[in-house]
Structure 1
Amino acid sequence: MTMTTASPTPVRAHPVDEILPVSQLATYGLQHVLAFYAGAILTPIILAGALGLTNEQLIHLINADLFTCGIATLLQSVGIGRIGVRLPLLQGVTITAVGPMVAIGLDAGGGVDGLLAIYGSVIVAGVFTFVMASYVKPLMRFFPPVVVGSVILIIGIGLLPVAANYIVMGSGLNAMQNPVLLKNVMYGLSVLALIVAIQRFFSGFMQTIAVLVGLVVGTVVAWALGDAHFGEVSTAPWVGYTTPFYFGWPTFGLTAILSMLVVMVITMIETAGDVYATGEIVKKRIRNEDIARAIRADGLATFIGGILNAFPYTCFAQNVGLVRLTQIRSRWVVAAAGVIMILLGSLPKVAAIVAGIPAPVLGGAALAMFGAVAAVGVQTLGKVDFNNQNNVVVVSISVGLAMLVTAQPFIGDAFPEWARIVLGSGIILGALSAILLNMLFNSFGSGTAAVAGRPGDHLVTIADVNRMNEAEFCMTFGGLVENTPWVIERAFRMRPFADTLELRSAFQNALLAGTSEEHHQLLNSFADLGTDADAETAYLFDHANAGIDELDADEHDAVRHLAKAYRDHFGFPLIVSAGDVERYERVVSSGRARLSNTPAVERSTALVEIARIANHRFDRLVANANPHASAFVPTFMPQPA
């Protein structure tokens, strides 16, 4: 007898590790480079202007920066051993370091001497970051979703003014030097509109290269109208390499080093936020060791940057937004972008072509990408228990402080030099605020949110809930499920609850896990739609959300006839979560459509509606107990009329 063995089923690679065809790698990689390019050259341009460097020195700084960006990106996306997180993360010079580097350079006398002082501090900061990565694990408990989500949101919002400056002024210069031109605004908004149109009306490959198409079309139109110039291409050399210590041996000053260490601590937070954001986008679980690997790559890239005449490196947030927009999750696409950057750093003539993209065109694409980063922050904050007033304080104050500095960037000028490192950036101030406020409110002697009761009465906390006997528990929470005994009893047995999210989940799990007979009892505990109910019950409030308590006589009769027809057909009342449909017409149309369902399908549908009703009632119960927290709700989520 011949024995046959089934061949093992091949393990499918995660989309992050998928190697795409070369043509797609090149196209998607180029899109990342184009989206990143303006930010990459911004730091050398600012430093060269502040330190009084020559045009030749500026060109070398740009080439060195691009070349080292490529190396840093390969370290992060491809990885070596325990270095690199191996996610689609493109590396670039952290904008956080620009202000401190300018200060360091000017304190050293500007010019090449200033550059050498900067490079000395960058080399030490790189070593510090690499070593600190090994100790990041015990610190990660201080970065729960409320902190990570706040930091990502702040990064996204904080970068939007950069895109706006590109659009309205064509650069980051003062508006008095470069007044707003309507054509610049039209370039930016047209590119943004084109990206939106491609995302809406196309699918597949075209949808994934929306940003690239927007940049190319915008540049071609600007060139045809005489607003894109490529004169530097003819004068740029074909080949040019950066050499170690091109400007001379670095110098090391204590103040400069301390300033750069502060920058790198903030950079670690930015990196952690970007890694978590990318993990959310690509659907890959992020562990503590992943954060450590990413920070090691930052440290090594920063160390190399100090040697190759470049600067501190971190994950580039705009490219995180690009991954979100395109949904191309392969890290090898970003690796391809790294190779392209190395080539651009070695071919100044080719780099000059890319440099010809007008700033307003780049600004239009940046608006979409930075907004996508902010959306990831909102998504992460969706995991946060906002019934806990402490979390509301952490998010609201952190975002508020970040926007203070973002809206008034010169506010730091009123403070001493050492304080400007923090007050010079809304991202730095907001990130530090989120961390410190979370430690103050949630890590050290934190309080507990109330989950039931009304202002002026005794407010019930999670600790009180966990101490309740069954009768007290039923009296407090029975209204969530029309006082159906078996649901309340099962939820009660799931104690202790860590927070209000676990308490809410207990009711949802309990009501969905009942037997057929128990479900029938639960369904029939609800009154028929449109009938009068006791004004003290939550039932009328459910109806008020849909305007059912404001119907005229004919409309009320129509609801009652629908409810009777439904009960006659299925044997239980028509149940609709009014808080989800919000209008009487939708309640009626939903009920009529459900009459055609089979009894089994409709039973399941009704149970889901009950779960939604219980969820809305739970939210109102918590809002009553936490009036300060509920006051913040309209800011983040519109309420039904």
Structure 2
Amino acid sequence: MQSSKVHPVDKKLPFWQLLIYGFQHVLAMYSGAVAVPLVLAGAIHLDVEHLIYLINADLFTCGIATLVQTLSMGPYIGSKLPIVQGCTFTAVTPMILIANSAGGGAEGLRVVYGSVIVAGLICFITANYFSKLLRFFPPVVTGAVITIIGLTLMPVAVGWIAGVNPAAPDYAAPMNIMIALLVLVLILFLYRVSSGFIGHIAVLLGLIFGTVVAALLGYVDFSAVGQAASLGITTPFAFGMPVFEPVSCIAMTLVMLVTMAETTGDVIAVGKIVNKPTDEEILCKALRADGFSTALGGILNAFPYTAFAQNIGLVSITGVRSRYVVAMGGVILMILGLLPKLAAVVACIPNMVLGGAGLAMFGMVAASGIQALSKVNFVGNCNMMVIAVSVAVALIPIGAPTFYSKFPTGVQLICTSGITIGSITAILLNLILNKGTD
């Protein structure tokens, strides 16, 4: 009788289910998790050895951050929601600028990590004040934000399938599209015919199937597995003691403010999907977890951390709402960070396979937003216009990535994130047109 009263978010599943479902979450977010160190290392001229170290440190810290968010650390840090934490891509450009202004390489990273630590601490301290903004998220804004999250993620899945360089010979290659389509069709089939365990791991099975097909066609390269080290230990301040340069600290703090806005939307979206509405206390704890993990990232040679939106779609598709599943994913991430060979095996999943799964996962996030909007009253108010304009504004940087390139850096930080500018637009329009009501 007692167990029936346990909310699905707090339900503890058998170990083998936790392991399989958790691994599914890791596969869904892995490519996004390693993208930041890959881009950063190339831009600031780090050698391969340092790149590998950054990836290991990032995965290990991702795992810790996810455990803090899902299981909490004391009564004040962590939302206790099924949220995977990963490094935010919003911070990539500022980190590159900060590092290169200090000479690049390992020396530049010392300045980056100093700014990351300060920004994380400020995020932690201001979480209580930032969470009070939740009152500006009535149903019409919440539904619009969730829809925006899903729509702005779609180009990521398309990029995984087609590639990022239109000039490349294999860009949008028919075979890549066919493999992605096979993965998507299998996920849809399993989702339709099975509501039990098989249905819950539809994305995992789709990724495995797609990887096997891609391997048979010669699209998978396992050479990195043999080259990777057997053990990699992350030590604090591996690149030297952090340098706290004032301007860099201010710039990274602005990045964290943008990230906090994105986290707010992500936490609200997760709360809707798992039927555990976000209140001010939960949001505050989630933001504190972001701040703590970001400061920890600066210590452990990693990066600023936030909720990973792609995993929200996975929760929606599978219907598995237990935070302990995501916590197991955090444990797996820590193990991958310590065992580079295992991490290299996961990295062998081709992007077009991830893209096929991404179409379903990100689409489910957008569908959840549309479902939330279906319950909004559209009579006698301006809700239709709030949704229309906020979604349109959010899609501007998606359709035209350089649209804001002539604006000051601070404006670009906010406006080039579709989720952030779309959320701000929805809040402001609701305040102006609806006077803050829904």
The TM-score with structure 1 as length reference comes to 0.66
Q: CA RMSD in A?
A: 1.8
SS across alignment from 1:266: helix
After TM superposition, list the pairs within 5 Å mapping 1:475-624 onto structure 2.
none
SS at match of 1:398: helix
Q: Which amino acid aligns with 1:33?
A: V
Distance of 2:4 and 2:176 partners within structure 1: 50
Structure-2 change in CA distance of 1:214 and 1:109 (3 Å): same
Q: Which amino acid aligns with 2:52?
A: I
| Partner of residue 262, structure 1 | 254
In the alignment, which residue of structure 2 is the partner of 1:248?
240
Could you tell me which amino acid in structure 1 is paired with residue 207 of structure 2? Answer: L
Cα distance in 2 for partners of 1:292, 1:97 equals 21
Corresponding residue number in structure 1 for 2:13: 20
Residue 38 of structure 1 pairs with residue 31 of structure 2: yes
Q: Aligned residue for 1:474?
A: none
Ranked by relative contact order (alpha carbons within 8 Å, sequence separation 6 or more), the top structure is: 2
Question: Which letter does structure 1 place at the counterpart of 2:20?
Answer: T
Q: In the aligned structure 1, how far is the partner of 2:331 from the partner of 2:342?
A: 14
1:332 aligned partner, one-letter code: Y
Match of 2:43 in 1: 50
Query: For 2:121, what is the secondary structure of its paired residue?
Result: helix
Asked if 2 retains the 8 angstrom alpha-carbon contact of 1:96 and 1:263, the reply is yes
| 1:72 and 2:65 correspond | yes
Specify the structure having the higher radius of gyration (Cα): 1
Map Cα deviations across residues 277-308 of structure 1 (whole Å, 9 max, x no partner). Answer: 22222222322101111111111011101111
Shift of 1:412: 2.1
| Distance verdict in 2 for CA 1:256–1:194, change over 3 Å | same
Task: Give how far 1:141 is off.
Answer: 1.5
- Are 1:163 and 2:157 matched, yes or no? yes
Give the aligned partner of residue 210 of structure 2.
218
CA distance in 2, matches of 1:137, 1:165: 33
The whole-number CA distance in structure 1 between the counterparts of 2:88 and 2:141 is 20
Instruction: Determine the structure 1 residue equivalent to 2:193.
Output: 201
- Deviation track 1:25-44 (CA, whole Å, cap 9, x = no partner) reads 10000000001101101111
Give deviations 1:337-358, integer Å, cap 9, x for gaps. Answer: 0000000000001100001111
Q: Do the aligned partners of 1:136 and 1:288 also contact (CA within 8 Å) in 2? A: no
Q: Distance in 2 between matches of 1:314 and 1:431?
A: 16
Describe the superposition over 1:559-599 as per-residue Cα deviations: whole angstroms up to 9, x where unpaired.
Answer: xxxxxxxxxxxxxxxxxxxxxxxxxxxxxxxxxxxxxxxxx
Q: Which residue of 1 aligns with 2:100?
A: 106
Q: 1:9, CA displacement in angstroms?
A: 6.1
For structure 1, list consecutive stretches of 5 or more residues without a partner in the other structure: 1-7, 447-498, 500-641
- Taking the aligned partners of 2:72 and 2:54, their CA distance within structure 1 comes to 25
Equivalent residue number for residue 229 of structure 2:
237
Contact 2:183 2:210 in 1 (8 A): yes
Cα–Cα, structure 1 residues 84 and 44, in superposed 2: closer, same or farther, change >3 Å?
same
CA separation of 1:242 and 1:148: change in aligned 2, threshold 3 A: same
Q: Tell me the SS of whatever aligns to 1:413.
A: coil
Cα deviation, 1:176-203, whole Å, max 9, x if unaligned, reads 1353311111111111111111111223
SS in 2 for 1:101: helix
Once residues 15 and 2 of structure 2 are traced to their aligned partners in structure 1, the CA distance between those partners, rounded to angstroms, is 27
1:19 aligned partner, one-letter code: K
Q: 1:443 to 1:125 in 2, by over 3 A?
A: farther
Residues 152 and 438 of structure 1, relative CA distance in 2, 3 Å threshold: same
The one-letter amino acid of 2:152's match is: G
Give matches, 1:361-372, under 5 Å: 361-372=353-364
- Total equivalences in the alignment: 436
CA distance in 2, matches of 1:345, 1:400: 39
- Name the residue aligned to 1:84: 78
2:404: which partner in 1?
412
Distance (whole Å) between structure 2 residues aligned to residue 386 and residue 256 of structure 1: 45
* Aligned-partner SS, 2:306: strand
What is the CA distance between 1:330 and its match in structure 2?
0.8
Question: Where does residue 428 of structure 1 map in the other structure?
Answer: 420
Q: 8 Å contact 1:151–1:270 — kept in the other structure?
A: no
| CA distance, structure 2, for counterparts of residue 136 and residue 426 of structure 1 | 20
Aligned residues with identical type, % of pairs: 52
Decide whether the 8 Å contact of 2:25 with 2:326 is kept in 1.
yes
Indicate how the Cα distance of structure 1 residues 135 and 18 shifts in structure 2: closer, same or farther if over 3 A, else same: same
State the 1:10 CA deviation.
6.4
Secondary structure at the aligned position of 2:86 is classed as strand
Shift of 1:314: 1.0
Distance 1:42 1:156 in 2: 20
The answer to whether 1:143 aligns with 2:137 is yes
With over 3 angstroms needed to count, the CA separation of the structure-2 counterparts of 1:356 and 1:303, relative to structure 1, is same
Runs of 5+ in structure 2 lacking a partner? none
Letter in 2 for 1:94: T
Q: Determine the structure 2 residue equivalent to 1:333.
A: 325
1:43-80 Cα shifts (integer Å, max 9, x gaps): 11111121121111111111011000000000010012
Q: Are residues 334 and 238 of structure 1, via their aligned partners in 2, closer, same or farther at CA, if it must alter by over 3 Å?
A: same
* Aligned counterparts of 1:403 and 1:316: Cα–Cα separation in 2: 19
Please report how far the alpha carbon of residue 389 of structure 1 lies from its aligned counterpart in structure 2 after TM superposition: 4.2
Contact 1:409/1:425, CA 8 A, preserved across alignment: no
Query: Is 2:114–2:298's contact at 8 Å kept on the other side of the alignment?
Result: yes
Q: Give 3-state SS (helix, strand or coil) of 1:92's partner.
A: strand
Residue aligned with 1:52, SS: coil
The answer (yes or no) to whether the contact 2:381–2:434 under 8 Å persists in 1 is no
Q: Is the 8 A contact 1:390 1:441 kept in 2?
A: yes
Distance in 1 (CA, whole Å) between partners of 2:240 and 2:374 is 50
**Structure-2 separation of matches of 1:115 and 1:29:** 32
Q: Is contact 1:242–1:308 with CA below 8 Å preserved after alignment?
A: yes
Amino acid at match of 1:174: N
Aligned to 1:61: 54
TM-score (norm 2): 0.95
Distance 1:60 1:298 in 2: 22
CA contact 1:99–1:424 (8 Å) conserved in 2:
no
Are 2:165 and 1:174 aligned?
yes
* Counterpart residue type for residue 395 of structure 1: I
Aligned residue for 1:285, secondary structure, equals: coil
Residues 149 and 350 (structure 1 numbering): CA distance in 2 closer, same or farther, change over 3 Å? same
Distance 1:417 1:284 in 2: 37
Is 1:358 matched with 2:350? yes
How far off its partner does 1:237 sit? Answer: 1.1
Paired with 2:299 and 2:201, the residues of 1 have a C-alpha distance of: 35
1:137 deviates by 4.6
For 1:175 and 1:253, the matched residues in 2 are separated by 38
